[in-house]
Amino acid sequence: MNSIKLSGLADKLNQQMASLAPQERLTALRQALPGRVVFTTSFGIEDQVITQLIASAGLDVAFATLDTGRLFPQTYTVWQETEARYGMRIEPFYPDARATEDLVRAQGINGFYNSVDARKACCGVRKVEPLARSLAGAQGWITGLRADQSDHRSGLEFVSFDVQRNLLKLSPIFDWSRDDCLRFTQEHAIPVNSLHGQGFLSIGCAPCTRAIAEGEPERAGRWWWEQDDKKECGLHFSADGKIIRPGASA
């Protein structure tokens, strides 16, 4: 599909989504797109919910994950448990070896602590570029974004047209709370990352993630040394932290 058709389809689907259940949203996207649809999972509680929804509906969706090389051991454990539970392989995408070597050579092994630009450069090599490969040729991208994860994310929609990648992006549990996700995983005995029970509500790379204190926002544990209230890695927002919207350029 060309960009005009995809943009129009995004508007049409988005009008329907609020009245549908999450699994119906996933089915609607899959039926609307003739091409490849990819779900990128980081094995957080939201992604585990979506994995169950896709698997139980038997939808033709490719599963992918970005292994940055700096994940928690507990993340690899839930990765293994998830593959065993659903009888599948989740395709890994790793950072380019040469780019990673150049990054570490330039800024040091933990150079991302030195500045926001250095941290974004690390995210670019370890996450953004591998994501581009995972979505190559796809018409649809499924994510675990929720509106109440941060004020910044509340400005997103169920379905949007990703201009940069020329695909539709669906967040099927956009209107769910964290408690909704927790309840769903318990009801269906879904594997979850053990770090969630230790105060790690949003889990990324080990050096860049900490547990949060009571009353802190859900994503306060990500890149906690930065003061910016729009902290993102570049997967869902442009380099300057703005939401990527139809007709916009990053």
Decide if 233 is catalytic.
yes
Q: Please report the sign of the dihedral spanned by the C-alpha atoms of residue 16, residue 49, residue 139, residue 241.
A: positive
Catalytic entry in 123, 205, 208, 233: 233
Which phi and psi (to 5°) does residue 144 adopt?
-100, 25
CA–CA gap between residue 142 and residue 61 (Å, rounded): 9
Structure tokens at 122: 């690390």
Contacts for 206 with CB less than 8 Å, ≥ 6 apart:
70, 71, 72
Q: How far is CA 214 from CA 55, 93, 148, 210, in A?
A: 34, 34, 16, 13
Q: Which residues are catalytic?
A: 233
